Structure 1
Amino acid sequence: MQMPTTAEHRAVIVSENYDRIDGRLARNTDAKALSLGLSQQNERGKAGILAKVWRHTGEEWSEQSEELPLHRVLDLSILVCRSLEHFREAYRFEHLYDPQKPVIDRIGLQGDAMNVAICTDNERIHEDIKQFSLALSQDDEMIGERLRMLSKILKDMGY
């Protein structure tokens, strides 16, 4: 199944077999490929680099395919890692977090900080956080495999 090449996203680096390794959805997912490529030129006349998840309905490429700028992919990775770190010690709290201190961390980026916090606006946070923790626990081996690989690659790159 050939990914489309369009003016909106010109793939440069691809993983066309992503459906085989898409976590618990492997071999049963509409996310068929990942790519890094060039976006259309933005208003400043510069093409940006984007990561894209290519979805296929079984009949056609889906408009629900997602594009993310690389910095957002990395920001999501930071958010995931910091969240995993929180949940390693969350058992110490009655509700898996401290309601008096819902901000887990502030991570300095670009002269400001990205807050990592429990969403206390969620009316079902006590129930949902338990489900979230359980899902992390069930996926621990799969997530750990990817984190170890990411760690190795980052070390190889000198980070």
Structure 2
Amino acid sequence: MEMPITLKHKPVVVSENYENVDGRLARNTDAKGLSLGLAHANDKGKVNITAQVWRYAGENGSQDSEELPLHRVLDLSILICRSLAHFREAYRYEHLYDPQKPVIDRVGLQGDALTVAICTDNERINEDIKLFSQALSDDDEMMSERLRALSKILKDMGY
């Protein structure tokens, strides 16, 4: 499934094959993709990054709110972490990614892999990725605090 790029959430980093790794619902789910992108509602010019679960509801993706199974929350966390890692080194690329290799990573899950890639279907990707990168930079202190807390908790749990 291609991510709907005409909606207000503008995807920058996507996992378009999510239906293959959606926990117990894998290969039998309406959750077709995950994305991180630019928020549709900006606060006084501030760009916000949001996560989206893309569901197939007829002809269009749905923007309905939903309860998330815990494995999807963790899958979104994987998507976030791999994206953060990419953007730490993205300055090496003219457009903050390699257009010839937009796939950032494939994370093995459930006999398949969660693909993490730049959304090249987004017609404004070169502009949106710069805004996305700047928003990550602006929120670095807040995100780092949470990642350190999460890292400590995971280590304490033996992971």
Bin for the TM-score computed over the shorter chain:
0.5 to 0.7
Matches within 5 A, 1:89-100: 89-100=89-100
Asked if residue 134 in structure 1 is aligned to residue 134 in structure 2, the reply is yes
Q: How many residues align?
A: 97
Aligned residue type for 1:118: I
Instruction: Tell me: CA distance 1:150–1:95, structure 2 relative to 1, closer, same or farther (3 Å).
Output: same
**TM-score, normalised by the number of residues in structure 2:** 0.59
Deviations 1:55-114 (A, max 9, x none): xxxxxxxxx653100000000000000000000000000000000000000000000000
* Distance in 1 separating the partners of 2:68 and 2:95: 33
Deviations 1:123-158 (A, max 9, x none): 000000000000000000000000000000000000
Asked if residue 66 in structure 1 is aligned to residue 66 in structure 2, the reply is yes
Give % identity.
Answer: 85
Aligned residue type for 2:131: Q
Q: Which has the higher contact order (CA 8 A, sep 6+)?
A: 2
Matches within 5 A, 1:2-151: 66-151=66-151
Larger Rg: 1
**TM-score, normalised by the number of residues in structure 1:** 0.59
Please identify runs of 4+ aligned residues in structure 1 that moved more than 3 A.
none
* Distance in 2 separating the partners of 1:76 and 1:106: 14
- In structure 2, stretches of 5+ residues that fail to align are 1-42, 44-63
Q: Secondary structure at the match of 1:116?
A: strand
2:53 alignment partner in structure 1: none
What's the RMSD between the two structures over aligned residues? 1.2
Instruction: Tell me: CA distance 1:158–1:137, structure 2 relative to 1, closer, same or farther (3 Å).
Output: same
Aligned residue type for 1:82: R
Q: Secondary structure at the match of 1:105?
A: strand
* Distance in 1 separating the partners of 2:66 and 2:100: 36
